Amino acid sequence: MEKNEDMVLVIDISSNSVKVGLVSESLNLVHFNSQNINVINEDIDGFAKSFDMEDIWNKLINGVNQVHTKIKNQNTKIIGISTCAQRIASIFLDRKGNVVYGGPNIDIRGIDSAYLIDDEFSEKDLFEITAHSPSLLFCLARLLWFREEEEETYAKISKVLMLDDWLVYKLTGIYVSDFSSAAESQLLDIKRREWSSEIIQTFDFDPDFFPDIVESGTIVSELKPELIKKFNFNQSYIPIVKTGGDTQATLLGMGAIERGDIGISLGTTAPLHLVVDKPIIDPSSNYWTSCHSIKGKWLLEGHAGNTGASYNWFKQCFLSNSGDNPDFLMDTYLKMSQPGALTTYAYLGPENMNIKNQTSIKRGVFAFQPPMMISEELPTIKDFARSVLENIAFGIYENYSALNSYTDLDTRTFCAGGMAKSEEFSKLLANVLDSEISIPFVKDSAFIGVAMNILKALDLYSDYNAMIKDLITYEKIKSNSSISEKYKSIYLEWKNLKNKIDKL
C-alpha cells in the first residue's frame, strides 16, 4: 500500500459477526475488526429467533472506532462507506424508525404462517414470481406471522427492510433497498425487478412498507453529521454507497461477474452461484434465482448447506484439546491421508440443494471399517478428518454439477471465504470438481466486493472488469487428472451409501 493511500470503510454483518474493515484504493484489506453477534431464541422449539439490534449497533460503532484508531494519526481520508449483510435477515421499523423486529437468516417463525401463503399461491406460481422457496424462510412469511400472532406489533410496522437496508438507514436516515437485498425477501418480482404488486395486493400489505430500490454501487446519501462526530472523522462529507447481500458482494470480490462464471462462497454455509444474463426459473422450484450486484446480471443458486459449520464442529469436538492449531491439523491430516480415507465416509449435512426436504430431521453419520475387521487397515483421526472435508467437497460438487447443466459455456470457477484459506482443501475441492479454481489473494472477498462498489460509485473506475484486471490477483489451483478420476468412483460409493442412509 502506498503511504497515506485513501481508504474506504466497509461494514459486513455476516451470519456470525459484525465485521468492520478498512480497504485501500488498491483493494488491500488493511485493518479488520470482528465481534460475535448475539441471536436470541424466542421459543422453546428454537424456530423464532431475533437479533439484539442494540448490541449489533453498539458493536458496529466499536468496530468503526477500533479500525479508525489505526489510521487516526495518518494523513489518510475515508473516501466512502458501504455495507453488506447476511441475506434473508429482515428488519421491521415503526414510524419513528425504531426496530419492532429484527430477525436473522435462521429465524423460521414463518413455519406457522406459511399456510396463509399456500392458500393464495401454489408453490410453482409463487416460485415463478420470486424464484425463492420454501416460504417459511423469508420476509413474506414473517410479515404474515406478525399479522396473525402479534397484531399489536404488526400495527406498528411502517417500514420493511432487509438487514443491509437497515444499516444504510442507520448511517444516513434514508430508506432504500437494492436488488440483491430485495431479491432475498420473497417479495420481489425477480423478472420485473420490482416489488411484486401481485403479492402485495393479495396479502393487503401497505405498499409504503417497501422502500425504493436502487442498483448496487449507487451513492444514496452521506454519513450523518452526528456519526461523523461519534466516529471522530476529520471530514465533513463521506458518501454512503449501497451494496446489499454479503454473498453477492463476495462474488463481486472474487471476480465472478461474467455469464458462465461460477462462484463458491466458503463460509458457515456454501452457496454456489452461476452468473446468468437473464433470470432462469428452475422448473423444479429448487434452485433459487437472485439479482447480482452487477446490473443486468442474475444468479442461479445451488446451496451445499452447513459446510463451514460441519468443519468447525469437527474441529471443536475432536481437535480442540490437541494443543495444536486445529486448522493446521486438518491440513496435516489431508496430507497424511489418501482419497477416500480408507472408505471412511461422513454424512454431516453438506449435499445437493434440496429445499423441499429442509424440515426433516437427519442424523449425522460416519461410516467406516470397524475394529473387528482386523484384516483391514483401520481408519484413524486423519481419515475421519479427510472424510469430513470430502463430505463438504461432495456436497459442493453436487450443486456445481447441477449449475453447470444450465449453461453451455465453459465455466470459470472462483472460490473465496474462510475455507479457501486452506491450500490443502482447495486442492481437494479442485480435484473433486475436476476443474481449475481461481482463488483471490484476499479471501475475505465480501470486503473487496463492497470496496469495489465504492470505487465505481466514485468514478475511480469505469467498470468492474477493469478493477478486477488491475487490482485482484489470483492463485490458480489446478486439478490432478488421475486424482479426479479416482474421486469419480469414490463419490459414487459415497452417494450410494448416502441414498441408503437417507431412507433410515
- Domain ranges within the chain, ordered by starting residue: 7-246, 253-305+401-479, 307-396+484-502
At residue 375 the predicted structure's pLDDT band, cuts being 50, 70 and 90, is low
Find the Cα–Cα–Cα–Cα dihedral 425, 429, 430, 435, rounded to 10°. Answer: -160
Q: Give yes or no for residue 10 having a pLDDT over 90.
A: yes
107-116, 161-170, 209-218, range with the lowest pLDDT? 107-116
For cell 422450484, what's the residue?
285
Of all residues in the chain, what percent are helix, strand and coil, respectively (each to 5)?
Answer: 40, 25, 35
Asked whether residue 498 carries a pLDDT value surpassing 80, the answer given is: yes
**H or E segment to which residue 439 belongs:** strand 437-440
State yes or no: pLDDT of 2 exceeds 90. no
At 179-213, the pLDDT tens digits run 999 999 999 999 999 999 999 999 999 999 999 99
What topology is assigned to 253-305+401-479 in CATH? Answer: Nucleotidyltransferase; domain 5 (3.30.420)
Q: 307-396+484-502 maps to which CATH number?
A: 3.30.420.40
CB of 303 closer than 8 Å to CB of 399: yes
E strand or H helix that includes residue 307: helix 307-318
Concatenating the DSSP letter of every residue in 164-180 gives HHHHHHHHHS--EEEHH
Average pLDDT over residues 310-319: 96
Helix (H, G, I), strand (E, B) or coil at 443: coil
- Is the pLDDT reported for residue 486 higher than 50? yes
pLDDT above 90 covers a percentage of the chain that reads 87
On the question of pLDDT at 379 being above 50, the answer is yes
Is this structure's pTM higher than 0.85? yes
State the average pLDDT over residues 395-399: 98
pLDDT at 360: 57
Residue range 246-275: average pLDDT?
Answer: 96
Question: What's phi and psi for 461, nearest 5 deg?
Answer: -135, 145
Task: Say whether pLDDT at 1 is over 50.
Answer: no
- Two domains, one topology: 7-246 and 253-305+401-479: yes
Beta-bridge mates of residue 11: 20, 83
By percentage, how much of the chain surpasses pLDDT 70? Answer: 98
Average pLDDT, the chain: 94
What pLDDT does residue 53 have? Answer: 96
Query: 285 and 124 in contact (C-beta within 8 Å)?
Result: yes
| Residue type present at position 100 | V
Is the per-residue pLDDT at 356 higher than 80? no
Superfamily of domain 7-246: ATPase, nucleotide binding domain (3.30.420.40)
pLDDT digits (tens, 9 = 90+) for 423-441: 999 999 999 999 999 999 9
Average pLDDT of the residues in 121-131: 96
Residue 20's nearest CA partner among 472, 419, 446, 441 is 446
pLDDT for 373 equals 60
29-73 per-position pLDDT tens digit: 999 999 999 998 988 777 999 999 999 999 999 999 999 998 877
Q: Which of 354-363, 445-454, 486-495 has the lowest mean pLDDT?
A: 354-363
Query: How many residues are there in the chain?
Result: 504
pLDDT tier at 320 (50, 70, 90 boundaries)?
confident
